[in-house]
Structure 1
Amino acid sequence: MTEPFDAVEVIAAKRDGRALDTARIRWLVDAFTRGVVADEQMSAWAMAVVLNGMDRREIRDLTLAMIDSGERMSFADLAKPTVDKHSTGGVGDKITLPLAPLVASFGVAVPQLSGRGLGHTGGTLDKLESIPGWRADLTTAELRAQLADVGAAICAAGADLAPADKRLYALRDTTGTVEAIPLIASSIMSKKIAEGTGALVLDVKFGSGAFLPERERAEELARTMVALGGDAGVATVALLTDMSVPLGLTAGNAIEVEESVEVLAGGGPSDVRELTVALAAEMLALAGRDGEDPAAALDDGRAMDAWRRMIRAQGGDPDAPLPVARESHPVLAEADGVLAEQDARAVGVAAWRLGAGRARQGDPVQHGAGVRLHAKPGDVVRAGQPLVTLLTDEPDRFPRAIDALEGALVVAPAGTAVPSRDLIAARIA
């Protein structure tokens, strides 16, 4: 077979800042999937995108080409609307766990295809796998049956959804090309559109613990993804949220499940509840359930009932004890005062070094490891009071975790005013 284009010519065009036409983008993705375009050539093209960007039409073409590289699911035959949520990831971000059953309790299907963590941000599947018996892998038939019955499923994405993205993502991770907004947007949206959801709510984070720390770049990503959703006929809304401080009071796996259950029981940290309710309201509105009160479903037990059914449907025991780390180490306040800073990225790195995360795909995680927070910025603290407790099965991990927190937990003199922050900074539709 004679190829219609030449990889070197396509790379050079983007290297020189020229826009690629639709035919070349579609060929590039298809040829890469078939192995005609080599990994080193695709890596060179990705670096050219980092340096020169892509316009709106190019990003749309890239997204659609990656969708067309594999299967496209459809839930059109379900007797209920479908809506999904995607977060760009952060520290203590366990929102998917209470959110999916909360939205499902209103008769909406939530096909939440999730992933595992890498580096300082945790993975939804890692958290849920701390529940005894729970399994992440569902067949398409099992997923459909669970959505029809329970309404919510949180599971691993199948290998046939946007396979070109999986190959390209692996290259980006090893070639310094992860942060390019056109590549991030097309990667996220190709998978979400291919999974067949009818509507999508995005939680796009900025701040020290986020994938894109700068608010301006996070907002650019959000607007790009909302436009891609609209182009593909998927109603899409984004909330821009602050990840400069960890969400909630836990960063880990089992301890985040524990905190999620507290939220489902009507309690839990106020920031986790606030974001869960806000995202649920957006999802319900897109699903045609305007005017519903998601907070009420947390308080009256409906969301908890849906959670228990969801966990049982995937083999888990919602009543089983969760793993507990064998060793703990408190980090104490050195003086009286007010907690002025609590850097999210540092807390995430500490949890990772304790064993809650992984350095490479496929590494095991410790389900009991992590960081438990005892105060949030603005709280009054006393000398000798624990600011955080470090948890792990391997005490030789403590020193590097403590190093990660150097300068990250700042106690200011009593009476110091700590500026408040808006957890939800903007809504983009």
Structure 2
Amino acid sequence: MDVRSLIARIRDGEVPQAADLQGFAAGLADGSVSDAQAGAFAMAVCLKGLSDEGRVALTTGMRDSGDTLEWDLPGPVVDKHSTGGVGDCVSLILAPLLAACDVYVPMISGRGLGHTGGTLDKLEAIPGVNVTPDAAAFRRIVGDVGCAIVGAGGNIAPADARLYAVRDVTATVASVDLITASILSKKLSAGLGAMVLDVKVGSGAFMKTQDEARVLARALVDTANGAGCPTAALLSDMNQPLAPSLGNATEVALCMEVLAGAPAAPRLTELSLALGERLLTLAGQSDPRPRLEAALSSGAALERFARMIHALGGPPDMAEDWRTHLPKAPVCRPVPAPADGRVAAIDGEALGLAVVGLGGGRARESDRIDPAVGLTAVAGLGHCVATGDPLAWVHARDAATAERAAAQVSAAITLGTAADTTPLILDRIDP
């Protein structure tokens, strides 16, 4: 493969050969492609795009640049991916819920990015949990428990790690083709038999409009199916936090209530069930909704979650005594409503950044996360308040950061006479 010729063809709007794109991915992984060539390739793709076939070829080439998993299990192997939002802790509910329905979930997750939280950071709020077990332990936990939520290993899609680092410094992150290949190369390396995607739309998401979210969802679904993995997507509303708690331990606590059957977060519960229903249908189960609801109400999903936590090094009694184990912030104060009214709009990104300012996320890669801080009881769209009623509760390390976060939360929530609410599930993208 001539890397320069490949870059030139993409630059000139020509359709590259699949073998050349796969060879380029291999060159990223083994170092034969230079940083300059990687940057030029990323810019050419960003400006001219790839064909559908080219996107599949780049994705599978990046997937195959490192380790890929194969499974010998008595049920389907499935997973879910979210594009990220505020108060999005679906993974903590969905993975054990699916495991309780006789499928296996090797969920490779990530850390917080910008204003959005990370599943791994949330899990690490539980004392003792190790989200980077070795490959043998990962396989054992998936086989024994039915699910394991972990970080990517060192040799998962190394071509993506290399290209992403180049994209980050060359203004080429915002390419649907490259975003698609980056997401799917890591997910598909887990040897999945089916996958569902949750593409977020709104003020708390990276995608602010339905049109741009639909373009990304269509690219992800078509590429995953082209790579041999049956995949569908839901577009979900993120114009308000998915759950009324934001942070790490605060979100885990909410998930424990949901898994225990409490009506603590209706939107979070409904989206988890909807994603599970679509995924189990893709995996070959008929009419799976009643089974999912039963697994949640019976405590079967809670039992799977507790077993997974213990297998990852966490406490053995998480199901019964989770309140004892989760850290609590020393300062807890309300955010009073400045006037009577109804919650008319919420700036989800601003709420996420308030959590980052408390120490619940990272402003820089080297920052350490405080697992105890965050927000709880965040008022949703349409909620009526009187002057002085709490719009949310701030959990902070000290009074000064609590005061600063309270001001940010107050500024992020707009009161009015009516709320412009949208459905939770905005669209469905099928193969």
Which of the five TM-score ranges fits, normalised by the shorter chain?
A: over 0.9
Residue 38, structure 1, aligned to residue 39, structure 2? no
Query: Is the CA contact (8 Å cut-off) linking 1:101 and 1:307 kept in structure 2?
Result: yes
- Counterpart of 1:33, as a letter, is A
Q: CA deviation at 1:407?
A: 4.0
**Structure 2 matches for 1:118-137, cutoff 5 A?**
118-137=113-132
Q: CA deviation at 1:180?
A: 0.9
Q: CA deviation at 1:367?
A: 0.2
Question: What corresponds to 1:344 in structure 2?
Answer: 348
Distance 1:131 1:230 in 2: 36
What CA deviation, in whole Å up to 9, does each residue of 1:158-213 have, x standing for no partner? 12111111121222233322221101111111111111011101111111211222
Q: CA deviation at 1:406?
A: 6.3
Question: What corresponds to 1:47 in structure 2?
Answer: 43
Query: Is the CA contact (8 Å cut-off) linking 1:118 and 1:359 kept in structure 2?
Result: no
Distance change (3 Å), C-alpha of 1:31 and 1:395: farther
Question: What corresponds to 2:428 in structure 1?
Answer: 427
Question: What corresponds to 1:313 in structure 2?
Answer: 311
Which of 351, 357, 363 is the aligned partner of 1:359? 363
Question: What corresponds to 1:208 in structure 2?
Answer: 203
What CA deviation, in whole Å up to 9, does each residue of 1:21-54 have, x standing for no partner? 2233223222222223222331232122222222
Which of 152, 160, 165 is the aligned partner of 2:155? 160
Distance 2:425 2:310 in 1: 33
Question: What corresponds to 1:149 in structure 2?
Answer: 144
Which of 62, 69, 90 is the aligned partner of 1:66? 62
- Counterpart of 2:39, as a letter, is S
Distance change (3 Å), C-alpha of 1:404 and 1:335: closer
Distance 2:348 2:48 in 1: 31
Query: Is the CA contact (8 Å cut-off) linking 2:243 and 2:268 kept in structure 1?
Result: yes
Question: What corresponds to 1:183 in structure 2?
Answer: 178
**Structure 2 matches for 1:3-402, cutoff 5 A?**
4-7=1-4, 9-75=5-71, 77-267=72-262, 268-292=264-288, 293=290, 294-317=292-315, 318=318, 319=321, 320-398=324-402, 401-402=405-406
Q: CA deviation at 1:329?
A: 4.0
- Counterpart of 2:2, as a letter, is F
Query: Is the CA contact (8 Å cut-off) linking 2:78 and 2:104 kept in structure 1?
Result: yes
- Counterpart of 2:186, as a letter, is K
Identity of aligned residues (%): 45
Distance change (3 Å), C-alpha of 1:273 and 1:33: same
Distance 2:14 2:362 in 1: 38
Distance change (3 Å), C-alpha of 1:172 and 1:397: farther
Q: CA deviation at 1:60?
A: 0.9
- Counterpart of 1:309, as a letter, is R
What CA deviation, in whole Å up to 9, does each residue of 1:335-389 have, x standing for no partner? 1111111121111111111111113334311101212234111011010112122
What TM-score results when the alignment is normalised by the length of structure 1? 0.93
Q: CA deviation at 1:71?
A: 1.5
Distance 1:16 1:403 in 2: 51
Query: Is the CA contact (8 Å cut-off) linking 1:349 and 1:401 kept in structure 2?
Result: no
Local SS of the residue matching 1:175: coil
Distance 1:427 1:392 in 2: 39
How many residues end up aligned between the 2 structures?
421
Distance 2:168 2:126 in 1: 29
Distance 2:23 2:99 in 1: 40
Distance 1:253 1:190 in 2: 27
Distance change (3 Å), C-alpha of 1:341 and 1:129: same
Query: Is the CA contact (8 Å cut-off) linking 1:264 and 1:304 kept in structure 2?
Result: yes
Distance change (3 Å), C-alpha of 1:184 and 1:201: same
Distance change (3 Å), C-alpha of 1:21 and 1:399: farther
Local SS of the residue matching 2:232: strand
CA root-mean-square deviation: 1.8
User: Which structure 2 residue ranges, 5 or more long, are not aligned?
Assistant: none
What TM-score results when the alignment is normalised by the length of structure 2? 0.93
Q: CA deviation at 1:11?
A: 3.2
- Counterpart of 1:349, as a letter, is L
- Counterpart of 2:223, as a letter, is L
